Structure 1
Amino acid sequence: MDSPHGAAVKAENFGLKGPRGWVFRGVRLDAEPGSLIAVEGPSGSGRTCLLLALTGRMKATEGQAEVAGHQLPRHMTAVRRFAALGPVTGVNELDQSLTVAEQLREGALLQRRYEGPVRALLRPRGERRTAAQARIDGALAAAGLDLATLPKGPRTSVRDLERLEAVRLSVAIALLGAPRLLALDDLDLKLSDSERAEAWTLLRSIAAGGTTVLAVCSEAPDEATVLRTGAAAAEPAAEAEPAADKKTEDTEDTEDTEDTKGADDALAEAGRA
């Protein structure tokens, strides 16, 4: 699989205010293509909404961001074309009723519509099938998911996958479209320490291949560019000094208990969109 050129991600005073208050505010970021960006903070602090806003799925209400030269929130549609999502609860989830093979085929079919409908229809069916399988094989390799190791191989039900296997499957599906920006929510949720290390190793390899990676987490690795949300964003540097090689971009602390409610409202709205 060819490594796409990643998207530079910049933000200045980027914020989102929901019906009940600020979801996130004061986001500042300057990340080069191929960066590993971690959105770190407690649950309910606006992490997921920030991820959705930076990938063109949610409209910010203050400041601006720029992804691969496209300004947000003005050019949300353009950003969505090259920014792929991993699983986001209520927005983009794996279908638990499918097998792994079915989920991959569905992902490949959805990606075909972006190749140019007329050109795709004119290609022989066998050629289309071969190209789709090659794309799936490349994405699985990049995600580190070997179907032969699953309990029933490709026929394993998605609901029977371990958490890390589900993450790898979601990453593989996202990579089918050769995105310039890959975004994942709740990366370290329900992962053991060793599994968390494996997940970050995976994302580092994808970033090293040229794709910019944006991941929501509770604890970021040292080498990531970090965006902190919620109370963590307001900690004095003396109390939470980052490692020497960790670039940190903080967000301003949001407003009292209204933040969690505002994040929930905004996320629900994104799910309905």
Structure 2
Amino acid sequence: MDGPASGATSPDNPANPANAADADEHGAAAGASVAATGFGLKGPRGWAFRGVDVDAAAGSLVAVEGPSGSGRTCLLLALTGRMKPSEGTARVGGMRLPKQLTAVRRMSALAHVPGVTELDPALTVAEHLREQALLQRRFDGTLRGLLRTPAERRAEASLRIDAALAAAGLDTETLPKGSRTSVRDLERLEALRLSLALALIGRPRLIGVDDTDLKLADVERAEIWAQLRAVAGSGTTVVAVCSEAPAGAVVVSTAPVNTTNDTANDTTNDTADESADGTVKETADALAEARRA
């Protein structure tokens, strides 16, 4: 969640042409193709990543593979419009980077990115879901959305939440206290599924997931990769950071530019932190306004 309780750094805006043009009759957005050549991002202390090539069709499962500190998270944030690349060319859903960062950000969502989209351990699962649905409604500037009655808006929010939970494979009835379970009481896989559900509420064309296989048992890794394949199979492009890519994924590898020193890891972390600061504050302000609505 962006800031304390958001599922995406910048909520998907249904009124945005980049989304509306590819939405089907049920409101679900088509996936976004991802293509990049010589893609690179330079931070204050050097290159976070460089020379990355990507070629993935819409609805693909893209695995960003590499060791910790190799710029995986920075690449994820750059491809979703949260960080400005320094060199190379890229197109996401037909939008050029870095020229159309805002458009790419609007069509994408983030799940489980430490320091950017963290869950609030004090809130319950239901509270996270309600807040994200409320935030999504705030950014729905369509005429159809404005003309809906309160009852219709509540029903729409409920449908979005149910669909997102199903797509993320999270059954709240299996949790210790159902939807009233606090995030602090969730297992690692359950928290990952909740973060994924929150991001999916906005019906993004592309979703980015960080640390996908971190601290998961082999069985749990297989489960989450199967879930992400299902999300991609439904049309939403998935870009997932991992230590080891699963079979069948479009693999994008990262590696430290300079392996003779220890600056690569520091560069990755510092660059991500600096980029995330403005995004987190921006989203926190939006959340505060949504709570007052």
- TM-score of the superposed pair, with normalisation by structure 2: 0.83
Give 5+ residue unaligned stretches, structure 2.
1-25, 279-293
How far the C-alpha of 1:3 sits from its partner, in A, is 4.6
Q: Does 1:150 align with 2:155?
A: no
Question: C-alpha separation between the residues in 2 aligned to 1:262 and 1:143?
Answer: 32
Partner amino acid, structure 2, of 1:266: T
2:221 is matched with 196
- Provide the residue aligned with 2:187 in structure 1: 162
Letter in 1 for 2:64: V
For the residues of structure 2 that align with 1:3 and 1:120, how far apart are their CA atoms? 15
1:140 aligned residue (138, 155, 165): 165
The offset of 1:140, in angstroms, is 0.7
**Amino acid aligned to 1:39:** V
Whether 1:8 and 2:33 are equivalent positions in the alignment is: yes
Partner of 2:68: 43
The alignment partner of 1:230 has SS state of coil
1:28-177 equivalence runs, <5 A: 28-116=53-141, 120-177=145-202
What is the SS of the residue equivalent to 1:60?
A: coil
Check if 1:209 corresponds to 2:210.
no
Q: Which runs of 4+ in 1 moved over 4 A?
A: none
- 2:84 and 2:31 map into 1 onto residues whose CA distance is 22
1:68 to partner: Cα distance: 0.5
Aligned to 2:17: none
Number of residues of Structure 1 aligned to a counterpart in Structure 2: 252
Offset at residue 124 of structure 1 (A): 1.4
Instruction: Measure how far apart 1:2 and its partner are.
Output: 5.8
Identical columns (%): 62
Residues 1:258 and 2:283 aligned together:
no
Tell me the residue number matched to 2:282.
none
TM-score of the pair, normalised by structure 1: 0.89
1:35-68 Cα shifts (integer Å, max 9, x gaps):
1100011111100000000000001111121101
- Superposed CA deviations along residues 131-162 of structure 1, whole A, max 9, x for unmatched, are 10011011111111111000000100011110
Two-structure CA RMSD over aligned residues (Å): 1.4
CA–CA distance in structure 2, aligned partners of residues 121 and 212 of structure 1: 29
Unpaired segments of 5 or more residues in structure 1? 232-252
